[in-house]
A and B are shown apart, each in its own frame.
Chain A
Amino acid sequence: MLKAMIGTVSLAAMLLATTAVVQAHTVIKIVHEETNPTEVALWKRIAADYEKLHPDVTVTYQYLENEAYKAKLPTMLQSSDRPDIIWSWGGGVMRAQIDAGYLRPLGAAAQAVVPNMIPADAAAYKVDGKYYGLPILHSEVCFFYNKELFAKAGVDANQIKTWSEFLAAVKKIKAAGITPITVGAGEKWPMHFYWAYLAMREGGARVIDEARAGKDGGFVAPAFVEAGQRLQELAALHPFQPGYVGTLALQAAGQFGDGRAAMQLMGNWLLNTQAGNAANGKGLPDSNIGIFGFPVVAGAPGKATDELGGVNGWLVTKTAPAAADDFLAFFFQPKYQQQAAVEGDYIPALAGTSAFIKDPIIRQIAISLEHATALQIFFDQALGPSVGRVVNDVSVAVAAGQMGAKAGAEAVQQAWEDEQ
């Protein structure tokens, strides 16, 4: 009897010991929606390097396609299989996640890296005095144009400064038999860039903050209604590619890369997506791509140096282990972020890395960002998941003539009020 007991106890002890060893192994689960192969390869290299230095930690990445990512994330954050680090655009969506209790502030290891970031970018991840994530990159939305097609239509991009000049250019391009603009309105958010920029031009860079505070009736303020009207002016010229309402963002990028349209209003990642999704796999060469900023509306307060863009980063979830903070600190070492700059993956938020950017166009954008008078985060992220979706829906509906400019603004205001 005693022997049996001793036997059982020692067996149990052995099992406990082995489970203890197994439990010491940490897994860091990271979820994202990045498709750029060189960027993903860099991230995997960072993970592999980290694992070599920390054999008891495994870092896994899970990729979800953009729309699926936004759709699945709420349920993922509620499940017991929560990821540890998530990709984020900051803004109201992040705030909603904090309010719901999904996230936690940075641990000491990650917190130590904050001073190395560009201050404006780091601030994007600060809520109520605490940092909940670290910024990876900042991006800007501007017009990318095909130099050859512009030359063919006889349009000089450097002359496009105002909205009316822009419309005139669109007309000229269309008259030359070229599709002026390609837009991935099927996913809706590419179209909201137009509405957002127009609102910023009509009402000044702080137009959203003022609307949130309730100025001039909130989102039915004249700035937003006029933004819709300007968008209708553009849509009346039929500038978009046929079937644009169903085109996905990557498909539109591919069309631009195929040289099937003259312009696209998009973030700087277009340089990568237009190459990867073009029919020939290469897209337009850098020498054939130019950029110009979103035009101003004559007489309205918005400045040409007010930029719409994003600060993407990693957020840390509530149940993430301390190793996650440690990994983040490792991730943001200068050598890796400089690598990203050199490869042209993105514009790193780590201070001092923009000097390493090789690609001239990205260089241009990085400089423009440094001189921006204001950087507004994408409306559909800044306003939170519910109102953001309405902004996207409204942008497409107004452009397609399905909804009036005023009705669109009212819909956004209604959605905003529902959230309060």
Chain B
Amino acid sequence: MSDLSLNGRGASVVKWAKRSEAGAQRSRGTQARAFAVWRLAILIIVAGIVLLPLAATFLGGFKDLGELRTNPLGLPHVWLWRNYWNILASLRYWRVLGNSLLFASLTVVLTLALGATAAFAFAHLKFFGRRFLFNYLILGLMFPAAAAILPLFIRVRQLGLVDTPWGVILPQVAFGLAMGVLLMRNAFRQLPGELLDAAMVDGCGYMRYFVHVTLPLSRPILSTVGIIAFVGSWNNYLVPLIMLNSTSLYPWPLGLMDYQGEYSTAWQLVLAFITLTILPAILMFVLAQRYIVEGLTAGAVKG
């Protein structure tokens, strides 16, 4: 075999190898592109299914009742802005949102206040019964509020708190403490222990340390727990339903069902009301989406 022929055949083998590799790359490329197209198609379909009910609700609020039947998913022929405007101009709408804001804010404040202090104690302080009390509190993770809602109502009634904001806020805080204390204790433990030792040596008390060192350094976890407590209270239906009778105290979930009961034959008005009451949640979500998502998954991983 002359070098020439080997070279020739070798070259053609190499050329063939190069060409088939390029071909494989090309077919992998078309494969990848096909996959990308399928992926996008699936995602768009699922997104469509997810958004369709919300879109139908939003648009339905602009239609009149008859059009809901004839034109379920399309844009309204006539945009009845007054459906939305009447609700926005009503005292009822702002009152239920205001009540929800009040309940949620106080729930957050109390949950953080009681939970952070207890979590700090469990994280750093050695005292008799610490282990027992912590496990006792964590039991709360297991129980649904619903299991005890009847005796809870009796208890709230005995305390004279039925039909008051505290009758809603205190139970909400109590049931949210377990999760909050768990998350915050773990987070506090993660702070370097030397900081505490150094502070002790300097004569700083535990409470001063808590206020001036732990809290400022724990903003992420405090935000997470705060958001969980806020959202939990904002969306709560069962507890206010049992504890409240006066419509003037209704948070928005009760206000929504109340409105639906009153205007049961006018779906277009109910749809407008639904849209307007979930709008704050959607807005909050859009504004804070990064923090919510990160906080939830981080908490879940640690928890």
Choose from B163, B242, B245, B261 the contact partner of A67 (Cβ within 8 Å): B261
Q: With A78-B157, A79-B157 given, is the CB distance from A65 to B246 under 8 Å?
A: no
Q: Is A68 an interface residue, CB under 8 A from the partner?
A: yes
Q: Quick check: which of A1-9, A197-205, A246-254 contacts chain B, the rest being far away?
A: A246-254
Q: With A62-B246, A72-B245 given, is the CB distance from A80 to B262 under 8 Å?
A: no
Query: B264 touching A250 by the CB < 8 A rule?
Result: yes
Mask: chain B, 258-283; 1 = CB below 8 Å from A; 0 = not: 10011011000000000000000000
Q: Is B66 an interface residue, CB under 8 A from the partner?
A: yes
Q: With A79-B163, A81-B245 given, is the CB distance from A277 to B261 under 8 Å?
A: no
B98 CB to closest chain A CB (Å) equals 19
Query: A75 touching B245 by the CB < 8 A rule?
Result: yes
Name B156's closest neighbour in chain A (CB-CB).
Answer: A79
Name A73's closest neighbour in chain B (CB-CB).
Answer: B245
Could you tell me the distance between the alpha carbons of A72 and B241 in the complex, rounded to whole angstroms? 9
Most buried by A among B66, B247, B262, B264: B264
Residues of A within 8 Å of B245, CB to CB, are 72, 75-76, 79, 81
Query: B157 touching A62 by the CB < 8 A rule?
Result: no
Residues of B within 8 Å of A64, CB to CB, are 247
Q: Give how many A-B residue pairs fall within 8 Å (CB-CB).
A: 45
Residues of A within 8 Å of B247, CB to CB, are 62-64
Choose from B160, B163, B257, B264 the contact partner of A248 (Cβ within 8 Å): B264
Could you tell me the distance between the alpha carbons of A229 and B163 in the complex, rounded to whole angstroms? 46
Mask: chain A, 55-89; 1 = CB below 8 Å from B; 0 = not: 00000001111111000100110111100000000
Choose from B160, B257, B264, B265 the contact partner of A80 (Cβ within 8 Å): B160
Q: Is A176 an interface residue, CB under 8 A from the partner?
A: no
Q: Is B36 an interface residue, CB under 8 A from the partner?
A: no
Could you tell me the distance between the alpha carbons of A68 and B255 in the complex, rounded to whole angstroms? 12
Q: Which of A240-291 contact B (CB under 8 A)?
A: 248, 250-251, 253-254, 277, 279
Q: Is A35 an interface residue, CB under 8 A from the partner?
A: yes
Q: Is B22 an interface residue, CB under 8 A from the partner?
A: no
User: Interface residues of A toward B: which range?
Assistant: 20 to 34
Could you tell me the distance between the alpha carbons of A279 and B265 in the complex, rounded to whole angstroms? 9
B252 CB to closest chain A CB (Å) equals 16
Choose from A35, A67, A80, A81 the contact partner of B246 (Cβ within 8 Å): A81
Residues of B within 8 Å of A72, CB to CB, are 245
Q: With A35-B262, A65-B261 given, is the CB distance from A79 to B65 under 8 Å?
A: no
Could you tell me the distance between the alpha carbons of A251 and B65 in the complex, rounded to whole angstroms? 12
Choose from B162, B246, B258 the contact partner of A68 (Cβ within 8 Å): B258
Query: A65 touching B258 by the CB < 8 A rule?
Result: yes
Could you tell me the distance between the alpha carbons of A80 and B160 in the complex, rounded to whole angstroms? 7
Query: B157 touching A251 by the CB < 8 A rule?
Result: no
Could you tell me the distance between the alpha carbons of A81 and B247 in the complex, rounded to whole angstroms? 13
Query: A65 touching B162 by the CB < 8 A rule?
Result: no
B-side residues, CB < 8 A to A, are 65-66, 153, 157, 160, 162-163, 242, 245-247, 257-258, 261-262, 264-265
Further pairs besides A64-B247, A253-B265: 13, Cβ < 8 Å = A63-B262, A65-B264, A67-B261, A72-B245, A75-B162, A78-B157, A79-B162, A80-B163, A81-B162, A248-B264, A250-B264, A250-B265, A279-B65
Can you report 21 residue pairs joining A to B where beta carbons are below 8 Å apart? A35-B262, A62-B246, A62-B247, A63-B247, A63-B262, A65-B261, A65-B262, A75-B153, A76-B245, A78-B157, A78-B162, A80-B162, A81-B163, A248-B264, A248-B265, A251-B264, A251-B265, A254-B265, A277-B265, A279-B65, A279-B66
Which 7 A-B pairs give the minimum distances between C-beta atoms?
A65-B261, A277-B265, A79-B162, A254-B265, A81-B163, A76-B245, A248-B264
